[in-house]
Structure 1
Amino acid sequence: MPRVIFNTATTLNGFLADTEDSLSWLFVVPGAEGAENDFGRFLEGVGALIMGSTTYEWIVEHEKLLDHPEKWPYAGKASFVLSSRSLPAVAGADVRFRSGDVRGVWDELRDAAGNQDIWLVGGGDLVGQFADAGLLDEIRVSVAPVTLEAGRPLLPRRLESDRLRLEKVTQAGQFAELVYSVRPA
């Protein structure tokens, strides 16, 4: 069975994105290149990924994927987008739009991943739904030396310490990388 992993970056005070859903704060942090190298190795072990509509829309807009679909960053990976809205597809990309509860897409997502991991790209509410369903195995978070006044929270759920176990701490440039295993409720 594949592991379900939330791998993301966050500000020091726990925001994934600012109030405009921008990640501009992330791209100016010194040492981000080192963290990107480690991410490439992580992505090699991913068989399928899933994201919410806001995350998908940001990627499509930021990379201008409707005009340049060849830049789809997850080629060769089954990519699921959970949304209640109709969204534009990136030509040639294996993007599967689904709606409803995460339990409703679980079998298809698991089958698409095969023997590889499932990456929860974001956002935090989607990850919270996986945690609520007992389907979240690991949280990998790179903490950047940035604070924001407000924004999208890392994980808008209450997970107590009896469900989280710190497994690893490393440094990559200015980032502190934390890996937690997650036990079902």
Structure 2
Amino acid sequence: MSRTIYLTATTLDGFIADPDHSLEWLFVVDAGDHEGDHARFMEGVGAVIMGASTYEWIVDHEDGRWGYEQPSWVMTHRDLPEVDGDVRFVAADDDAALLAVHDEMLEAAAGKDIWVVGGGELAARLVDVGRLDEIEVSIAPVTLGAGKPLLPRHVELTTLEVDRTVDFAHIRYRVGR
């Protein structure tokens, strides 16, 4: 059964990017050898969804290469540069449209999980429509004081797992109580 999982990193004060959409804060801390964990996570992912800012950051920092084999949805109202890969640009302005996109992703995922790559607002919208199952967050010992929030509104969670890798605390939550 597919789960929809918001897997991301955040600063100690709850920001996933600085006010300029930069993730440079992420590279000043030691994440240890997380490549193996990420590869195992990706084996279970059948579809990917992200916001436009996350997509632009990936394209800018990967020299236009697309690193995902899974079908990917980008929530946007803007014209964005295209990459080689199965990337679908959509604007789901209301709950019904977001639910329709999520249903399409569930079908494409074929029983595997859906990864919400980035966009705190996108993750919060999925909570609002009852379609976000888990949040897996890696908390870095860095503060920004401002930026793009991990989640921009109240969400109640149940802690499922706590772990540590060098400088990061990893916590997995189930959405809701």
Q: Same fold (TM over 0.5)?
A: yes
2:164 to 163, 171, 175: 171
TM-score (norm. length: structure 2): 0.93
For 1:21 and 1:114, locate their aligned partners in 2 and report how far apart those are by CA, in whole Å: 32
Query: Does 2:120 match 1:124?
Result: yes
Instruction: Give the stretch that moved more between structures: 81-90 or 13-22.
Output: 81-90
Deviation at 1:129, TM superposition (A): 0.5
CA distance in 2, matches of 1:116, 1:44: 9
Q: Secondary structure at the match of 1:111?
A: helix
Offset of 1:152 from its aligned partner? 0.4
Q: How does 1:58-73 map to 2 (within 5 A)?
A: 58-65=57-64, 69=65, 72-73=66-67
Q: How many residues align?
A: 173
Structure-2 change in CA distance of 1:179 and 1:50 (3 Å): same
The separation in 2 between residues aligned to 1:43 and 1:143, in whole angstroms, is: 20
2:111 counterpart SS class = coil
91, 105, 118: which is aligned to 1:99?
A: 91
Output the CA distance in 1 between the equivalents of 2:152 and 2:39: 27
Tell me the alpha carbon deviations over residues 98-137 of structure 1, each in whole angstroms, 9 at most, x when there is no partner: 1114213122111111110000001100001100000000
Measured against aligned partners, the alpha-carbon deviations of 1:71-102 in whole angstroms (never above 9, x if no partner) come to x211x201110111121210x21101111142
- Contact kept in structure 2, 1:134 and 1:183, CA below 8 Å: no
Show the counterpart of 2:24: 24
Q: CA deviation at 1:33?
A: 3.5
Name the residue aligned to 1:80.
73
Over the residues paired in the alignment, what is the CA RMSD in angstroms?
Answer: 1.3
Report sequence identity in percent: 54
TM superposition score normalised by structure 1: 0.89
Deviation at 1:183, TM superposition (A): 2.9
- The letter for the 1-side match of 2:75 is L
Shift of 1:34: 2.3
- Once residues 3 and 156 of structure 1 are traced to their aligned partners in structure 2, the CA distance between those partners, rounded to angstroms, is 22
Whole-Å separation in 1 of the counterparts to 2:119 and 2:33:
23
Deviation per CA, 1:41-73: give whole Å up to 9, x if none.
1111100000011110111111121xxx3xx21
**1:8/1:140 contact within 8 Å kept:** yes
Residue 139 of structure 1: CA displacement? Answer: 0.3
User: What SS does structure 2 have at the residue aligned with 1:105?
Assistant: helix
User: Where does structure 1 differ by over 4 angstroms across 4 or more consecutive aligned residues?
Assistant: none
**Which blocks of at least 5 consecutive residues in structure 1 are unaligned?**
none
Q: How far apart, in 2, do the equivalents of 1:106 and 1:10 lie?
A: 24
- Per the alignment, residue 43 of structure 2 pairs with 44
CA contact (8 A) 1:35 1:175 kept: no
1:6 lines up with 2:6 in the alignment? yes
Q: Does 1:108 align with 2:104?
A: yes
